[in-house]
Amino acid sequence: MSEKKSILVVDDDPDALAIAESVLSELENVEITTASDGHVGVARAKASPPDLMLLDVEMPGMTGFNVFAELKSDETTKNIAVIMVTGVSEKTGISFSADDMGEFFGKEPEAYLEKPVDPQKLLATVRQVLDLPAG
């Protein structure tokens, strides 16, 4: 039996958290926790680093970009895989990618998904990042 993987979903939208939890619950051997803002997400990640974070970009108080920067600058959390999830380009028409983040932050997330995220694409991306078998 393979080791259980942990995923921390950080999003200020309760519906987005519920949808992500529901979709990710299809994965076997995965523990899912959530945080409703960036500060709580960082605290949970530092207390018990997950294998993967799904991180919303637009959150009040501490954006996903701020969370990403803090995680990658901390020895305890720098190796956490991150999938950025955002609706920014749908709202603004401005696209952003993992490559763009790499140029800005010096590190890239493992993936960058646009909301609304197709459930199958989310599952496939998480499986790929965590090296899980196809469902």
The verdict on residue 22 lying in a domain is yes
Per-residue pLDDT reduced to its tens digit, 95-131: 555 555 555 555 788 998 988 899 999 999 999 999 9
Say how far apart CA 115 and CA 16 lie, in whole Å.
9
SS3 104: helix
* pLDDT bracket for residue 1 (50, 70, 90): very low
CA angle 23, 36, 117 (to 5 degrees): 35
35 pLDDT above the threshold of 50: yes
Per-residue pLDDT reduced to its tens digit, 54-96: 999 889 999 998 999 999 999 999 999 999 998 755 554 555 5
Say how far apart CA 109 and CA 55 lie, in whole Å.
10
Q: What is the CATH number of the domain that holds 37?
A: 3.40.50.2300
The verdict on residue 135 lying in a domain is no
Which of 9, 55, 57, 56 is closest to 30 using CA atoms? 9
Task: Write the DSSP symbol of residue 119.
Answer: H
The verdict on residue 12 lying in a domain is yes
The verdict on residue 72 lying in a domain is yes
Domain assignment of residue 57, given as a range: 5-129
Say how far apart CA 28 and CA 126 lie, in whole Å.
12
The continuous run of DSSP H or E covering 85 comes out as: strand 81-86
Question: How many domains does one find in the chain?
Answer: 1
Rounded to two decimals, what is the model's pTM? Answer: 0.88
The verdict on residue 100 lying in a domain is yes
pLDDT for residue 105: 53
Least trusted range by pLDDT, from 16-20, 48-52, 91-95, 111-115: 91-95
The verdict on residue 53 lying in a domain is yes
The verdict on residue 114 lying in a domain is yes
